[in-house]
């Protein structure tokens, strides 16, 4: 049953990444008691969710309807085109971005694996091996393959049945069949090349990065130094810079500025506070500096952004 009050809160949270104590994302589910959300979205250079680094305990599915986009998972960047479907495993550091400002439409579903756990045997044999795997952070079904067509069809069906918890669960089990079969094949290949695969991803750096990003999100309204960010990840400033650049595409300082702009955008759209008030709340040293960074990142002033969105 639709929860009107929760729906209002979900709209308020839209675009805001809230966190659990481990700093993973709290997903804004379609219903508070059922861990799933699905929608048809778009990506281009102006999308506010472009290059937003995050991770969550849920698994993520996306099928590309038209256009193309890039997906970065744990520092590995892949290109997705119309007809491709990607599965992103639990707790993976990931973000999406546009390619050459090409407009891209997609269906995305984020859903918690616990919906699959009908018994301890199912959990141990079919769920935990997948979501706990470090070797398989994602699986791609390329356009033209049987699995891609089947996965895209299921995701469309799942999206059209949004709100029907039985149908969503049924579709999730059906999707998991393709994921588990592909996982077994990919895991076999990974075991043969484990040294090469594990060498591509520094899991210690990823965990440190999660802590540093969490620190920024918790303290963005205050003055933060590069040393403080690096200390949170237990690394030097130079290593901190390298890790941020590799896995987020930004330096720590630029990531901090862009997060402050994200929060400023939310306040511009959801409140009638002045530019000066928003600037102070988001950690900018002055309204003029916030405007300068806003123009650099968004190609508009805060006032223009608010007016366009209204």
- Give tens-digit pLDDT for 69-112: 999 999 899 999 999 999 999 999 999 999 998 999 999 999 99
Domains for the chain: give ranges and CATH numbers: 4-197 (2.60.120.280), 203-309 (1.10.10.60)
User: Among positive and negative, which fits the CA dihedral 30, 35, 40, 42?
Assistant: positive
Contact 30, 162 (CB under 8 A): yes
Contacts of 200 (CB under 8 A, 6+ apart): 76
pTM (2 decimals)?
Answer: 0.81
For 281-307, give one letter per residue: b (16+ CB within 10 A) or e.
bbbbeebeebbebbeeebeeebeebbe
Burial environment of residue 190 by CB neighbours within 10 A (0 to 12, 13 to 18, 19 or more): middle
The pLDDT tens digits of the residues spanning 142-162 come to 999 999 999 999 999 999 998
Q: What are phi and psi of 285, to 5 degrees?
A: -70, -20
Query: Any long-range contacts for 274-280 (C-beta under 8 Å, 24+ apart)?
Result: 275/302, 275/303, 278/302
Q: How many CA atoms lie within 13 A of 164 on its CB side?
A: 11
Contact 59, 29 (CB under 8 A): no
Higher pLDDT, 310 or 135: 135
Burial environment of residue 214 by CB neighbours within 10 A (0 to 12, 13 to 18, 19 or more): middle
CA 103 to the chain's CA centroid: 19
DSSP state of 144: T
Mean pLDDT for the stretch of residues 298-310: 85
Q: What are phi and psi of 25, to 5 degrees?
A: -75, 140
Of 107-121, 126-140, 148-162, 200-214, the range with the lowest mean pLDDT is 200-214
- Report the chain's terminal Cα–Cα distance, integer Å: 31
């Amino acid at each position: 049953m639709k929860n009107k009050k929760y729906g209002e809160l979900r709209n308020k949270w839209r675009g805001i990444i809230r966190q659990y104590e481990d700093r993973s994302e709290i997903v804004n589910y379609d219903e508070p008691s059922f861990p799933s959300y699905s929608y048809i979205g778009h990506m281009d250079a102006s999308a506010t969710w472009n290059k937003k680094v995050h991770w969550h305990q849920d698994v993520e599915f996306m099928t590309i309807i038209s256009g193309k986009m890039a997906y970065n998972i744990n520092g590995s960047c892949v290109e997705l085109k119309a007809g491709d479907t990607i599965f992103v495993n639990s707790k993976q550091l990931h973000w999406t971005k546009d390619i050459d400002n090409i407009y891209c439409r997609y269906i995305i579903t984020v859903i918690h694996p616990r919906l699959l756990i009908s018994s301890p045997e199912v959990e141990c044999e079919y769920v935990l091996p997948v979501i706990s795997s470090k070797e398989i952070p994602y699986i791609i079904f390329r356009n033209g393959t049987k699995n891609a067509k089947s996965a895209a069809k299921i995701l469309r069906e799942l999206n059209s049945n949004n709100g029907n918890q039985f149908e969503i669960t049924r579709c999730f089990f059906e999707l998991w069949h393709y994921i588990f079969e592909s996982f077994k094949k990919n895991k076999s290949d990974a075991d043969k090349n484990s040294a090469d695969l594990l060498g591509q991803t520094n899991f210690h750096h990823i965990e440190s990065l999660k802590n540093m990003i969490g620190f920024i999100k918790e303290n963005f309204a205050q003055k933060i130094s590069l040393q403080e960010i690096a200390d949170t990840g237990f690394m030097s400033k130079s290593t901190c810079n390298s890790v941020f650049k590799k896995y987020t595409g930004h330096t720590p300082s630029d990531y901090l500025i862009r997060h402050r702009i994200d929060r400023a955008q939310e306040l511009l759209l959801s409140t009638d506070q002045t530019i000066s008030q928003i600037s102070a709340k988001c950690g900018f040293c002055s309204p003029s500096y916030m405007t300068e960074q806003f123009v650099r990142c968004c190609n508009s002033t805060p006032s223009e952004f608010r007016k366009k969105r209204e």
